[in-house]
Amino acid sequence: MFKNLTLFRLPDNAIPKPEALDTALDGARLRPPGPQELASFGFISPFGRNQEQLSHRIERHSLMSLGADVRLLPSQVVNQTLAERLDELESQRGRRPGGKERTRLKDEVIGELLPRAFIKSSRTDAWLDHGSGWLAVDTSSAKAAETVVYHLRQALGSFPATPAAAQASARMQLTAWLAGDALPEDFELGDECELRDPAEDGAIVRCRRQDLSAEEINEHLNAGKQVTQLGLAWDGRMAFVLDEQLTVRKLRFDDVVLEQLGDLAGEDAAAELDARFALMTAELDRLLKRLDALFQLAA
């Protein structure tokens, strides 16, 4: 079950067919980083790195995972090794190496240390709706989401996904809801928000486990601060924090939804993933349609 949704949308005429997606992912599998590579990116199976299947599909929905292997080479290790090398040369020559030679030596040190560096592995999941063209990436980081889109574009040759955006200011709408405008009847305020003074270098206030109708919140709004993140609950089925970029953060499904999974204790990993993905896409398909209607999302 995704915890975050960074949203992109594809034009109808650019949504890849499921078979084309499978072929593209197979040609862009994750490989180990080379001896002189800081990182390697590629697609892995959503069932785990030791599995061959690179996507999982239910009806028009595809689940995929971008894997990353990043070499950990702390700057202090590089600097310490470089300092030792410079000290050695200074004792031999009687003078400290200059700037150009220092740069060359640093490159040499990095080249020597890289093959021995530890590798940190990670994955970022994404869900593509082949019907509507929505791509949802399970991250709240715009950079991480763009990395997934970049590698899909590299794999497919063309993948013109653009970040979803409201036709009117989402910040103004979120601010109005917190200031007392009536929320849509299927939404309720949560207990978390972020308020920012719109002035450059203005104050930022973050509230958690807070009654958002409290007078202190109103005082910040009266002082001109605007809402950039707002905790919401929707339809008695899920809760999340929505930000001004329409990124869904801290997504949590309510028990009434999770109870539909039943007891998966006796199921294998593939059956559990299948059940969770089917439930998640059914619920989030409704949410995205609702957000689209409220904010008139454009891509």
Whether residue 152 lies inside any domain: the answer is no
Structural domain count, the chain: 2
- What mean pLDDT is predicted for residues 258-262? 84
**Whether residue 182 is found in the same domain as residue 259:** yes
**Whether residue 92 is found in the same domain as residue 209:** no
Whether residue 69 lies inside any domain: the answer is no
Written as six digits, the tokens of 71 are: 């070499």
Q: Assess whether pLDDT exceeds 60 at residue 249.
A: yes
Q: What is the pLDDT of residue 141?
A: 96
Tens digit of each residue's pLDDT (9 = 90 or more) over 68-86 = 999 998 888 888 888 888 8
Q: What is the domain range of residue 206?
A: 166-298
Beta bridge partners, 297, equal 166
Whether residue 92 lies inside any domain: the answer is yes
* Choice among 34-38, 160-164, 194-198, 235-239 with the minimum mean pLDDT: 34-38
**Whether residue 104 is found in the same domain as residue 184:** no
Residue 165 near residue 297, CB atoms below 8 Å: yes
Q: What is the pLDDT of residue 61?
A: 96
pTM of the model: 0.88
C-alpha distances in Å from residue 169, one per residue of 175, 296, 297: 10, 10, 11
Whether residue 243 lies inside any domain: the answer is yes
Residues with Cβ within 8 Å of 55's Cβ and at least 6 positions away in sequence, in order, are 18, 21, 22, 25, 46, 62, 63, 64
Q: What is the pLDDT of residue 98?
A: 84
Q: In which band, very low, low, confident or very high, does the pLDDT at 174 lie, cut at 50, 70 and 90?
A: very high
Q: What is the pLDDT of residue 267?
A: 65
**Whether residue 184 is found in the same domain as residue 289:** yes
Tens digit of each residue's pLDDT (9 = 90 or more) over 29-55 = 999 998 888 899 999 999 988 889 999
Residue 208 near residue 222, CB atoms below 8 Å: no
- What mean pLDDT is predicted for residues 84-111? 85
- What mean pLDDT is predicted for residues 198-208? 90
Q: Assess whether pLDDT exceeds 80 at residue 258.
A: yes
CA 55, 72, 152 angle in degrees (round to 5)?
A: 25
Q: What is the pLDDT of residue 138?
A: 98
**Whether residue 171 is found in the same domain as residue 292:** yes
Q: What is the pLDDT of residue 265?
A: 57
Whether residue 147 lies inside any domain: the answer is no
**Whether residue 85 is found in the same domain as residue 181:** no
Whether residue 223 lies inside any domain: the answer is yes
Tens digit of each residue's pLDDT (9 = 90 or more) over 52-67 = 999 999 999 999 999 9
Q: In which band, very low, low, confident or very high, does the pLDDT at 109 lie, cut at 50, 70 and 90?
A: confident
- What mean pLDDT is predicted for residues 277-286? 95
Q: Which long-range contacts (CB under 8 A, 24 or more apart) does 267-274 make?
A: 269/47, 269/48, 270/47, 273/46, 273/47, 273/56, 273/63, 274/56, 274/58
Q: Assess whether pLDDT exceeds 80 at residue 154.
A: yes
Q: For all residues of the chain together, what is the average pLDDT? A: 91
**Whether residue 183 is found in the same domain as residue 291:** yes
Q: What is the pLDDT of residue 262?
A: 77
Tens digit of each residue's pLDDT (9 = 90 or more) over 6-25 = 999 999 999 999 999 999 99
